Amino acid sequence: MTKKEFLYVGHYTDTAGNYILKIGTTNNLARRKADHTSNYKKAKKYTMPVGDEFVYDWFLPLSRYNTRRYEDKNIDLFRQAGFGVYVRNDRFCFAEKPTSVNVVIKKTYRIEL
């Protein structure tokens, strides 16, 4: 049996009040959430405030091959559409929180934020 991985969308608010949206993949949601929380608190730019944590807005189990493929496809779609400002580690920065985001797999998933 092939293990599933998750394609996810999550966010945090940085110390400057920017809304930081992240799209990514993982095979362990709890571990990845802890990784993001720890790493983004140490980041030099778009730093997560002490006491905050990374929050998942949506996730979907897919095959390992498909999670990577759809992550790359959606990051490209976001960048081409000018959806936020792309920053390192597959994140998008917004001065104000967007109301929703569309993730395209075989169909379009509208995720309310």
**Is pLDDT above 60 for 2?**
no
- How far is Cα 80 from Cα 50, in angstroms, rounded to an integer? 33
Residue type at 43 in one-letter notation: A
pLDDT in tens, 54-83: 999 999 999 988 999 999 999 999 999 999
- How far is Cα 71 from Cα 10, in angstroms, rounded to an integer? 13
109 phi-psi bin (left φ>0, alpha ψ -120 to 50, beta other): beta
pLDDT in tens, 91-102: 999 999 999 999
pTM of whole model > 0.75? Answer: yes
Q: What pLDDT, on the 0 to 100 scale, is given for residue 88?
A: 85
* 55-63 vs 85-87, strand pairing mode: unpaired
